[in-house]
Copies of this chain bind each other. A is one copy, B any other.
């Protein structure tokens, strides 16, 4: 069967990637257990058997999605982070994460609703912390240099990223438009939360 019409982006991708992205799309909409493999196969334009050629089982697909998004985080978060002045660094990281969530709503929803126990177990999560060591080090240095509050590193990290998630949640639940002013408010509040 020939395709004379221009080939769409999806068709060009290799099947494994198509399966992953289709699963991601369906899973954030319907939930893991409400998305049958048959539907994934159909929407990805492959046969059910093909899925099992690339993946051991359904769980493995979900795990690969989780790992993929964690990798993204590691790369995106530290983009354009300046060298000095932690307040500046913090602002850039904060915006990086917020913008990533807004630009990738499926990634956000996946992490919120799918990337949690018992779907994603502790082992997989542990394997992904390596992507965040850079960020960790930045925060740790800031604590040592007294640029931010002298509290436990884990606490500071959890509160900071929790705040970005809170901001993104408001945007997605459409409870707030999150215009420039509100984004700046949220960032400022996050900073006040951790500053020395």
Binding site for B on A (CB under 8 A): 29-34, 112-113, 116-119, 149, 151-152, 154-155, 158-159, 162-163, 165-167, 169-170, 175-176, 182, 185-186, 189-190, 192-195
Contact = CB atoms under 8 A, between A and B. Distances in A.
Query: Binding site of A, secondary structure by majority: helix, strand, loop or mixed?
Result: helix
A119 B27 CA distance: 12
8 contacts: A112-B116, A113-B117, A149-B189, A151-B182, A155-B189, A159-B166, A162-B169, A189-B193
B170 A186 contact: no
Contacts of A194: 189
Contact of A154 (B29, B116, B176): B176
Contacts of A159: 163, 166-167, 186, 189-190
B155 A34 contact: no
A17 to B, nearest CB: 25
A116 to B, nearest CB: 5
B169 A155 contact: no
A170 B34 CA distance: 30
